Structure 1
Amino acid sequence: MTSSERDPHPTEDPTGAPVEQPVGEEPTAGQPRRSGLRNPERAVRGLGAGTLSLEALVLLLAIQPIRVVGGDLGGAAIGAVVALAVAAVVLAGMMRRQWAWNAGTVLQGLLLLGGLLHWSLLGLGIIFALVWAYALHVRRVILG
């Protein structure tokens, strides 16, 4: 078995010289754009679910430091943070549904509104809104 039979896109020709690989070729008419992933939908769902899961974990772990360092984080604010974390976990499990991406965007807006309860929630909201925007960008690039 030659090296070209093993690898459909060899990086070297038989003499050992590098072979130029087509990069960024546009798909021809009627052919879908290939991302190079075996299952692009699954990869994008994993990105969204991972982002929301990480957000839930950070929200839950942030409660105590906010109370100790940041000062006045009342029961209503703690309840709001826990509710947002639970919503993020639920949405992470429902990423197969198209509406879950929109609901994730709404969740980021709600976390930004949590900044009215405590300034640190606004900071977390900005960070995770930017991360979610990046996840949406990656989704749009991969799935088209």
Structure 2
Amino acid sequence: MSDGTPDDGAVRTADGNPAGRPPRRSGLRNPERAVRGLGAGTLSLEALVLVLAIQPIRVVGGDLGGAAIGAVVALAVAAVLLAGMMRRPWAWHAGTGLQGLLMLAGLLHWSLLVLGIVFALVWGYALHVRRVILG
């Protein structure tokens, strides 16, 4: 056919899929695994950035007290633990809560609020991709 669909005689639905077959949401072999990897990678990157940000914040930002450092380390540990638990459905909700806690840590130092906003946007994009791929 001239419209790019194969002319194999099969009955097709309006979207071009063979009748009786559910449409594929993506070309991924295992979309659930891919989405879990995206969530785990996002949380792992967040943990790495949080730990590596401690010293520059102390040098440039000045007054980063022990409570703020403890909060950053606790949030980084929580992010690593959640990255390992992405198979569980509640881990996505906990990841969203983690972003809120990081923004709340902005009360301890303004740069933590900036990091919280950046990672909340990244996490929001990861949730969007998850919704698009898994439906």
| TM-score under structure 1 length normalisation | 0.81
Alignment of 1:10-49 (within 5 A): 20=4, 25=15, 31-49=22-40
Aligned equivalent of 1:134: 125
CA contact (8 A) 1:47 1:135 kept: yes
Residues 36/75 of structure 1: CA separation in 2 closer, same or farther (3 Å cut): same
CA contact (8 A) 1:26 1:33 kept: no
CA contact (8 A) 2:82 2:94 kept: yes
Alignment pair present for 1:98 and 2:89: yes
| TM-score under structure 2 length normalisation | 0.86
CA shift, 1:20, in A, is 3.7
Residues 14-33 of structure 1: per-residue CA shift (max 9 Å, x gap)? xxxxx8479xx476676143
CA contact (8 A) 2:5 2:16 kept: no
Residues 22-46 of structure 1: per-residue CA shift (max 9 Å, x gap)? 9xx4766761433100000000000
CA RMSD of aligned residues (A): 2.1
How many percent of aligned residue pairs carry the same amino acid?
84
| Contiguous gaps of at least 5 residues in structure 2 | 7-14
Aligned length: 125
Aligned equivalent of 1:125: 116
CA contact (8 A) 1:55 1:88 kept: yes
The one-letter amino acid paired with 2:45 is L
Aligned equivalent of 1:83: 74
